[in-house]
Amino acid sequence: MPPDRPRKRSRKHQPLGLEILHEDRDIIVVSKAAGLLTIGTGRDGGRTAHSALSDYVRKGNPKSRERVFIVHRLDRDTSGVLVFARSEEAKETLQQHWKSAEKTYLAFVEGHPDPAEDTITSYLVENDARRVYSTNDPSQGKLSHTRYKVLKTVGERALLEISLITGRKNQIRVHLADKGWPIVGDSKYGQKIRHNKRPAL
């Protein structure tokens, strides 16, 4: 049987806020813009990457049986690549191997991290105000590891390559702020004066 070829659709069918990078019968890979939730919760309304892609595969037909399944998530203010599955089987297969996948980010931070390469570890917990913070109490939070490496410095700032060993909500933002190197533009976790419209992540 010939290999499954990527599907092509015209630009007018592209989902808003997403760029289709790859599409076949098992997965859809998209580039998500900052400001768009991956999927909504009971407290979040409005358009999400999941809802936009669901409309895309159903071609506007709400009765269509076409579906997409969440494999992983990106924070609302983070831009980057998302992988969606087109079946329960594909979703389960991807998630079974997801921990072994290397997840890399770029972040522009305030300050010059020292040492230039290290791993940040803490237990992360979310409070009722939906703010994530670090704790030393294992019974309160989830163990989280963030590896970073300084790629270059620009004035009083630095560009970091981030590798997630674990994937918690707001993990990168909290860990970098904990060390005194908040992400540029991140007013929620550390930077008092917001130079950018969103975190540079």
189 within domain boundaries: no
Where residue 1 falls among pLDDT bands split at 50, 70, 90? very low
187 within domain boundaries: no
186 within domain boundaries: no
The residue-averaged pLDDT of 179-195 equals: 80
Number of folded domains that form the chain: 2
Say whether both 155 and 139 belong to one domain: yes
CA gap 18, 38 in Å, rounded: 11
Say whether both 93 and 118 belong to one domain: no
Q: Bigger pLDDT: 110 or 59? A: 110
Share of the chain above pLDDT 70, in %: 87
Say whether both 46 and 117 belong to one domain: no
Give the global pTM.
Answer: 0.72
Say whether both 75 and 138 belong to one domain: no
Active site residues: 75
Which of 77, 100, 123 is the last residue before a domain boundary?
100
Neighbour-count burial of 49, counting CB atoms closer than 10 A to its CB (0-12 exposed, 13-18 middle, 19+ buried): buried
Q: Bigger pLDDT: 157 or 129? A: 157
Share of the chain above pLDDT 90, in %: 60
The residue-averaged pLDDT of 181-195 equals: 78
20 within domain boundaries: yes
CATH number of the domain bearing residue 63: 3.30.2350.10
Q: The domain containing residue 16 runs over which residues?
A: 11-100
